[in-house]
Chains A and B, each alone.
Chain A
Amino acid sequence: DAGVIQSPRHEVTEMGQEVTLRCKPISGHNSLFWYRQTMMRGLELLIYFNNNVPIDDSGMPEDRFSAKMPNASFSTLKIQPSEPRDSAVYFCASSFQGGGGTEAFFGQGTRLTVV
């Protein structure tokens, strides 16, 4: 397996534009997580899915953020409209949850810059 695949690797966009980040989890994994990483706040959990169903989105900063997982092999994180403070590295991670405590596999991340 190629691991968790994210696209694009880098995104530069103007304030107010819509941004869509994409993630393909590892085949067979049943949980998917979206994280955001900044120097100030570290790695923050935004939302996680189990069996394609959103379980907890309490980490989503505001209504401008939305995430979907239409099937087991694809997820998107959308920001509309984007703002400069959204600039960060966004990571997608997947794992197989069968009893708790399993490792998470991270993608390479998408570096988002909003100007």
Chain B
Amino acid sequence: SQKIEQNSEALNIQEGKTATLTCNYTNYSPAYLQWYRQDPGRGPVFLLLIRENEKEKRKERLKVTFDTTLKQSLFHITASQPADSATYLCALGGVNSGYSTLTFGKGTMLLVSP
């Protein structure tokens, strides 16, 4: 069965360091992958999308890599700040009968301390 794995343990880092979150998947061939941020009591908010034929995507302090051979995506936040503390969800996208849907991992909580 399809499985998406994100580290369930919170990632604690110091302000200024680079945070790296991992998303692994099995039994899945996604057409694209997305990363979302979720704050307590709020809905997920889209951050980045990367397609299967792309290796890397950047947006300001964020960088995403996508390795379809390893079936893994890495999400990096450089120069992290306490305001980056949140849960980060990866979502795999597929196209089924012409319609795109997202399947989410459970997310990893990031805590950035000053």
Using a CB–CB distance below 8 Å, which chain A residues touch chain B?
4, 31, 33, 35, 41-45, 48, 50, 55-56, 91, 93, 95, 97, 100-109
Contacts and interface: CB of A to CB of B under 8 A. Distances in A.
Contacts of A105: 46
A100 B103 CA distance: 14
Contact of A43 (B31, B44, B51, B100): B44
Contact of A107 (B31, B43, B99): B43
A98 to B, nearest CB: 10
Contact of A91 (B43, B46, B49, B101): B43
26 contacts: A31-B99, A41-B106, A42-B105, A43-B89, A43-B106, A44-B104, A45-B101, A45-B102, A48-B101, A55-B97, A55-B99, A91-B43, A91-B44, A95-B100, A97-B100, A100-B100, A101-B32, A101-B51, A103-B46, A104-B102, A106-B44, A106-B45, A107-B43, A108-B41, A109-B42, A109-B43
Contact of B104 (A4, A43, A56, A108): A43
Interface string B29-67: 001101000000111111001010000000000000000
A2 to B, nearest CB: 13
Contacts, number: 63
Interface of B: 31-32, 34, 41-46, 49, 51, 89, 93, 95-97, 99-107
B99 A108 contact: no
Contacts of B97: 55
A93 B34 CA distance: 15
Secondary structure of the B side of the interface? strand
Contacts of A109: 41-43
Secondary structure of the A side of the interface? strand
